[in-house]
Amino acid sequence: MNIVLITNTFTPHVGGVARSVERFAEEYRKKGHQVLVVAPQFPKAPQKEVDVVRIPAIQNFNTSDFSVALPLSANLSETLDSFQPDIVHSQHPFLLGMTAVRIVRCRRLPLVFTHHTLYEQYTHYVPGDSPALKRFVIELATRYANLCDQVFAPSDSIRDLIRKRGVESPVAVIPTGVKVEDFVNGDGLAFRLQQGIPKNAVIIGHVGRLAPEKNLEFLAKSTAAYLNSNSQAYFLVVGCGPSEKAIRQVFAKNKLEERLHFCGILEPVQLANALAAMDLFAFASKSETQGMVLTEAMAAGLPVVAIDAPGVREVVKDKVNGRLISEETVAAFSSALQWVISRSPDQIRDLKQAARKTADNFSLSQTADQALAVYQSLKAKSVHQTIEGEKGWQQIIALIKAEWDIIKSVAQAGEEALHENLFFEDDEH
C-alpha cells in the first residue's frame, strides 16, 4: 500500500506524536509498504529526507517548542499525484489535519485519524486560554473524528472517553508499539560513570518532554521528598523543556541540587544506556493517551511508579510491574517509590520480569500489523470506478464539499463551546 501520514509534529521535535509517526513509518516500510510523511518544517530538521514533504511553518509558537504548519503547500499536490496514495492517516484535527480532509475528499480516499492527544490539556499554549477554549478543542476533535472513515485510539481509556464525547466513526484501539530490542542491552554502569553517579546509588529516572502538562513540579516534589529520606538516591531526568526550571527550583529549595542530573535529549543508544542506569521510572503526567514512554522503560526492565490516568492504567499494574497511585499527594507518591526500592532482590526480579512481559505485549511489529489490517479493509471498501472524463469535475465537487465540512465542523464546535460557556455563566448568576 501507499500510505500518507500527515502530522503537525515530526523529527527533530521530541514528543509522543513525532515518535509514533516515525516508528510506524519505519515499520510499514520494513513490511514492504510505501510511506510519505507530510510534516511542518522544524529548526535543525535533516537537510536530506526520503519520502518526507516539509510544509512551511511558524516556529516556536507562543514560546513553545512546537511549529505551527501553514496548511498550504505548492508542491504537495504534485507529490501526491506522483505518490498515488491508497490511505491518508491524519495525526491531528487542525492545521495539517484540515489539509488531510481536503486531500481525501478531492482524491476520494479513506481518512484515518489517531486521537493521540487530550487537546484540552494543551490550551495553555494558546493566548486567551479559558474553559470555553477547552470545550472548543474537545468539540473540534470530536467533530473532526466524525469526518473520518476510521479513528485509532491509543488506549482503551481514550476509546471510551471519545465515545462518550460523541465520536460515532468506527474506533480501533491501536497503541504506538515499542521497539523492545532497542532497550534490552543498555550499558547502565557506563552511563552512571559518565554522569558522575556512584555505581551503588539508587536512581529514580524520568524521560520525556519537560512541559507543564506533564505535571513535573509535582513529580519533582515527590521525588525530592523521597531523596530526603535516602542519601544514596539520585534523580536522573532525560529530556528538555520549559519545566526544567521548576524542577531545579524544587531541588534547590530542598538543597538536593547535587543529586539532580539532567541529560537533555539523547540519541537511541544513549537513551537505552540511561534507562539501564535507572532502578525505577517515575511518571506523574495525567495528560497522556497512551503509555509509550512507560513501555520503553519497561522494555529496559524498569518498574514504574505513576499516577492512575488514561493511557497509564493500561500499562502499569499496581504491585505487579510497579505502583499505580490513585491519590495525587506527595506523601503517596514518595511512599510508592519507597515501596519499590525496599523490595527484596527476588521481589525486584519479579517486578522487572513483569515489566519486560508488559513491554513485549506492546511490540511495534504487532501494533503495525493491526493498523495495516485496518488500512487494507478501508482500501478494499474505497475502490471506485471513475469515468476519466468526469474526474476533474468530481474533484472540484469533492473539494467544495471538503471545505464546507471543515467550516461546518469548526463552526459547530465553536457554537457548542459558546453555548456551554453562556450556560455556565448564567448558572453562576
Task: Using pLDDT thresholds of 50, 70 and 90, give the confidence band for residue 119.
Answer: low
Cell (9 digits) for 336: 510508592
- Summarize the confidence of residues 258-280 as an average pLDDT: 96
Is the confidence at residue 386, as pLDDT, over 50? Answer: no
Residue 6 is predicted with a pLDDT of 95
> Which CATH superfamily groups domain 180-361?
Glycogen Phosphorylase B; (3.40.50.2000)
Task: Using pLDDT thresholds of 50, 70 and 90, give the confidence band for residue 420.
Answer: low
How far apart are alpha carbons 145 and 141 in whole angstroms?
6
- How high does pLDDT run on average in the chain? 85
Q: Which of 310-314, 350-354, 368-372, 412-416 has the lowest mean pLDDT?
A: 412-416
User: If you ran DSSP here, which 8-state letter would residue 121 be given?
Assistant: G
pTM for the model: 0.75
CB atoms inside a 10 Å sphere around CB 102: 18
Task: Using pLDDT thresholds of 50, 70 and 90, give the confidence band for residue 136.
Answer: confident
- Summarize the confidence of residues 95-113 as an average pLDDT: 91
- Summarize the confidence of residues 187-201 as an average pLDDT: 96
How far apart are alpha carbons 426 and 368 in whole angstroms?
49
Cα dihedral 411, 414, 420, 423 sign? negative
Is the confidence at residue 13, as pLDDT, over 90? Answer: no
Q: Same CATH topology for 2-177+364-428 and 180-361?
A: yes
**2-177+364-428, what's its fold?**
Rossmann fold (3.40.50)
Residue 14 is predicted with a pLDDT of 64
Domain residue limits, the chain: 2-177+364-428, 180-361
Amino acid at 98: M
CB 323 within 8 A of CB 305: yes
| Tens-digit pLDDT profile for residues 164-184 | 999 999 999 999 899 999 999
Residue 49 is predicted with a pLDDT of 87
